[in-house]
Amino acid sequence: MKKPFVTKEKLEEIVKEYPTPFHLYDEKGIRDNVKELYDAFSWNKGYKEYFAVKATPNPFLINILHEYGCGCDCSSMTELMLSEALGIVGEDVMFSSNDTPEEEFRKAAEMGGIINLDDITHIEKVEKAVGYLPKTMSCRYNPGGVFKISNGIMDNPGDAKYGMTTEQIEEAFKIMKAKGVEAFGIHAFLASNTVTNDYYPMLAKVLFELAVKLHKSTGAKIRFINLSGGIGIPYRPDQEKNNIKVIAEGVRKVYEEVLVPEGMGDVALYTELGRYMLGPYGCLVTTAINEKHTHKEYIGVDACAVNLMRPAMYGAYHHITVMGKEDAPCDHVYDVTGSLCENNDKFAIDRKLPKIDMGDLLVIHDTGAHGFSMGYNYNGKLKSAEILLKEDGSFQMIRRAETPKDYFATFDFCDILKNMKY
């Protein structure tokens, strides 16, 4: 069974100051995890983690990661702006986007960030936007087909909109080298949320062999290889957690087999982890406020898909703990629902749980990444606060809850809502 990183007593203390729903983050867990990651890849002199800002765009949390040397993986103007505001600029920024507006390329270049091109046509687009090609550039690779490991198909890159073909990335390197680019990187994202120690080593082999091929065919200096994200977390209690030390050792083995013999033992490795960095160290705290007995048994909570979209969008599993009833028998079957006018607004369907009473606090696990960030405002629902549970047991609000005034702020250019009462 999954165990919350917070006690019922501590939650009751927090709730007195900040009403549910809210996302809660575990500072100690975050710090321990990032230290373990850097230790696992310490064998690679140039290793760097670029945190996937899209996963949890909170400046307080990004600053914690930056303390340990993490940069920012950005994919939009606002993510670049957030990184810049925190003083994370230069090669601490990796800009990876697709269908990219010119002004975003311009912003990334102004910040001194590394631009990772999704398409060969973007070479010309960067030149037009920036006026030149930066001395360091990267390209995103898509080998096509399906990506397989020993225990089956991981994902289908051939159906993904991202990246260049083998022929395109080779041509892109030749063009950019002729235009004065001096250092090159390779990037790929071939599978999402893998719960296996085999994914990164297999991906690394694909990219390392590509790097050797590109170096030989184009003469390009491959400075770094970005393994991107894809290391997942065990959302289900019966899943085994990835072992980052085993993963890093698997990558090291392939590195020494493929790159070192080719005189490429100085290539730096980068990662762009989001879910792995923060996912298990966040949870959504909500209160049971309604129960309904019709064709099924329903428990209504004060959170909804606005606070956590993944179950509604993907049918994703998130474990639920009824606080104070961790040891009680799971002898009731519930759909746990929010209040949106959509039938998919359910955190759990036919879930075996202890008897839930009104006022019970529920912890929905593993929302530290792609939780708050995927929220929206359907039905006029407002996004919740974010709270940091600090190492010393104290807690701090790191984002306030939205207010109706926030929701209507985009009409502040006119007086049509001048009679709005807040």
Number of domains the chain is built from:
2
Task: Please give the pLDDT value at position 109.
Answer: 98
Identify whether residues 326 and 406 lie together within a single domain. yes
Identify whether residues 85 and 209 lie together within a single domain. yes
Identify whether residues 96 and 204 lie together within a single domain. yes
Average pLDDT by stretches of 10, the chain with 422 residues: 96 98 98 98 98 98 98 98 98 95 97 97 96 97 70 54 91 98 94 89 95 97 96 95 98 98 98 97 98 98 98 96 97 98 97 98 98 96 98 98 97 96 94
Identify whether residues 100 and 227 lie together within a single domain. yes
The enclosing domain of 293 has a CATH number of: 2.40.37.10
Alpha-carbon distance of 279 to 372, in angstroms, equals 11
Task: Please give the pLDDT value at position 120.
Answer: 96
Any alpha helices (H) in 259-386, and if so which ranges?
275-278, 310-314
- How many CB atoms are closer than 10 A to CB 405? 10
β-strands 385-389, 22-26: how paired? Answer: parallel
Task: Specify the pTM.
Answer: 0.95
In a domain? residue 22? no
Task: Please give the pLDDT value at position 189.
Answer: 83
- Cβ within 8 Å of residue 397, ≥6 positions away: 18, 385, 386, 387, 388
| Angstrom distances, CA of residue 338 to CA of 153, 180, 306, 352 | 34, 55, 9, 18
In a domain? residue 182? yes
Domain carrying residue 389: 281-411
Identify whether residues 309 and 180 lie together within a single domain. no
Where are the extended beta strands (E) located within 313-384? Answer: 320-322, 332-337, 346-353, 361-364
In a domain? residue 405? yes
Which of 247, 279, 311 is at the close of a domain? 279
Identify whether residues 257 and 304 lie together within a single domain. no
Identify whether residues 295 and 184 lie together within a single domain. no
In a domain? residue 209? yes
Q: What is the DSSP string of 32-49?
A: HHHHHHHHHTTTSTT-EE
Task: Please give the pLDDT value at position 153.
Answer: 46
Burial of 178 (0-12, 13-18, 19+ CB in 10 A): exposed
Identify whether residues 225 and 373 lie together within a single domain. no
pLDDT in tens, 155-196: 556 566 788 999 999 999 999 999 999 999 999 988 888 899
The enclosing domain of 77 has a CATH number of: 3.20.20.10
Which of 228, 258, 279 is at the close of a domain? 279
